[in-house]
Amino acid sequence: MFDPRSSLFTVAKRDISSLSREKTIVLAICIQLFIAGFSSFLVVGLTSLYDPSSVDSEERLELAVTGEDQEKLVGAAAETDGPQLFRYDDREDAIGAFDSGDVDAVVSVSRSSAGDGTRLRVEAVVPAEDLKTTLIVVRLRELLTALERLERTERGAQLEFTPVEVPSDDAGSSSYFGFTYTILLPLLLFLPPFISGSIVVDSITEEIERGTLELLRVSPVDLIDIVDGKALAMVLLAPVQALLWILLLRANDIAIDHVGTLLVLVTAVATITVVVGVVLGLVTGRRRQAQLLYSVLVILLFGATVLLPEHPARTVALLSADSATTTTFAHVGGFAVVALSLYAVVRRYVGRVDPESL
């Protein structure tokens, strides 16, 4: 007796075994493996790009300070290991020194009247396109943060209520921690689902273009079984990769919590991308067109997630850092429900497709 489940797994096994011949896919997996396997070394370097302030620099920036409240900025610089300041009475002279390269940036400090008192106004001039621009901006941010801290402390006595205590300078967040959980881990977990959807597009369109889809249908297998087998292989491939990346990250002493929930999220996202790939592959029947549409549509869908109460990357960060909220778990459940619903709809669509028209 014919068992549709055996044919489903046969198609899935056939698709997975064929991946070893896809050089692009193998290269993508190797790149992810390299990133996860050597994450401790890479994060140190990548964090410097993510937050240049995490890298110590012996070179002190030279800033020209002008304006009526220069003392405020000088006091803030004294509170930190900030840049070297040069005072200018005339702003035009400060700009001239900046244009000639004598100073790295210009900061002007003044006060402006407001309805509820006075406000401190700070204007900064930095190079438009320079390798040092990012570093200058980061150092200026540190200086202005110290200035804001001093202003809040001085004006606290004027308030009719007790303000929140100003944190100390040492109470900062770790760039390594932030980069690992908000950039690196979401990247490693969301790449496999996107790759799975792309593989499905290639697999289906290749069967149609080469005419091998008709050969598969000669056996006692209908179109739904073929699509199920291909989808099953790619959906399962994503969480397997994600689990491998998580294990490698843990081997690099990066703690990751809620692994099971993370794998559920990855599986749900993979199901959604695979559904998109299946539909585009059957509708277009051409690899180049389907891949282009898949790339554009997936980018649009991922971009639309900013409208959600919680972005998927934030969901991954909160789960892995053991800081998940009710909204976080609700998002995972919502993605799972959407994935199952979409797959059920696509199966009904596939059942109505005439194989002769492909």
Tokens 């799972």 belong to: 336
Beta strand pairing call for 117-125 and 84-87: unpaired
> 268 or 128, which is more confident?
268
**Which of 320, 188, 177 shows the shortest CA–CA distance to 241?**
188
**Which of 251, 230, 252, 232 shows the shortest CA–CA distance to 240?**
232
Strand residue runs (E) in 29-132: 62-66, 84-87, 105-114, 117-125
Single-letter residue type at 317: A
Spatial contact of 70 and 27, defined as CB atoms under 8 Å apart: no
* 195 plus 310 within the same structural domain: yes
**Token pair belonging to 131:** 């390798």
In a domain, 165, yes or no: no
In a domain, 107, yes or no: yes
* 352 plus 250 within the same structural domain: yes
Mean pLDDT of 286-295: 86
Q: Give the range with max mean pLDDT: 2-6, 52-56, 111-115, 238-242.
A: 238-242
CA atoms within 13 A on the CB side of 223: 21
Q: Quote the pLDDT of residue 37.
A: 56
> 339 or 353, which is more confident?
339
Q: Quote the pLDDT of residue 1.
A: 40
Q: Give the range with max mean pLDDT: 58-62, 112-116, 180-184, 296-300.
A: 296-300
Q: Positive or negative CA dihedral for 167, 171, 177, 179?
A: positive
The CATH number for 94's domain is: 3.40.190.10
At 308, is the pLDDT very low, low, confident or very high (cuts 50, 70, 90)?
A: confident
Q: What are phi and psi of 130, to 5 degrees?
A: -155, 150
Residue-wise pLDDT tens digits, 78-128 = 776 667 888 888 888 888 888 888 888 888 888 776 656 677 788 888 887
Single-letter residue type at 138: V
**Token pair belonging to 24:** 């692009």
Residue-wise pLDDT tens digits, 174-219 = 556 667 777 778 888 998 898 888 888 888 888 777 776 665 555 5
Percent of the chain's residues with pLDDT above 90: 12
Q: Quote the pLDDT of residue 44.
A: 47
At 258, is the pLDDT very low, low, confident or very high (cuts 50, 70, 90)?
A: very high
Q: Quote the pLDDT of residue 158.
A: 65
**Token pair belonging to 160:** 């009719």
Total domain count for the chain? 2
Which of residues 117, 133, 158 is at a domain's end?
158
* 293 plus 148 within the same structural domain: no
Asked if pLDDT for residue 312 goes beyond 80, the answer is yes
Q: What is the pTM of this model?
A: 0.62
* 267 plus 336 within the same structural domain: yes
Q: Quote the pLDDT of residue 60.
A: 67
Asked if pLDDT for residue 249 goes beyond 70, the answer is yes
Q: Quote the pLDDT of residue 122.
A: 82
Domain region containing 326: 4-37+175-357
**Which of 124, 80, 72, 75 shows the shortest CA–CA distance to 98?**
124
**Which of 183, 338, 181, 351 shows the shortest CA–CA distance to 267?**
338
* 195 plus 287 within the same structural domain: yes
Separation CA 52–CA 175 (nearest Å): 9
Mean pLDDT of 58-67: 75
Q: Quote the pLDDT of residue 104.
A: 84
Q: Quote the pLDDT of residue 337.
A: 95
Asked if pLDDT for residue 45 goes beyond 50, the answer is no
Q: Quote the pLDDT of residue 2.
A: 39
* 146 plus 14 within the same structural domain: no
In a domain, 18, yes or no: yes
In a domain, 291, yes or no: yes
Please report which residue ranges of 219-286 form alpha helices under DSSP H.
223-251, 259-284
* 119 plus 207 within the same structural domain: no
In a domain, 31, yes or no: yes
Asked if pLDDT for residue 353 goes beyond 80, the answer is no
Asked if pLDDT for residue 129 goes beyond 80, the answer is no
* 19 plus 97 within the same structural domain: no
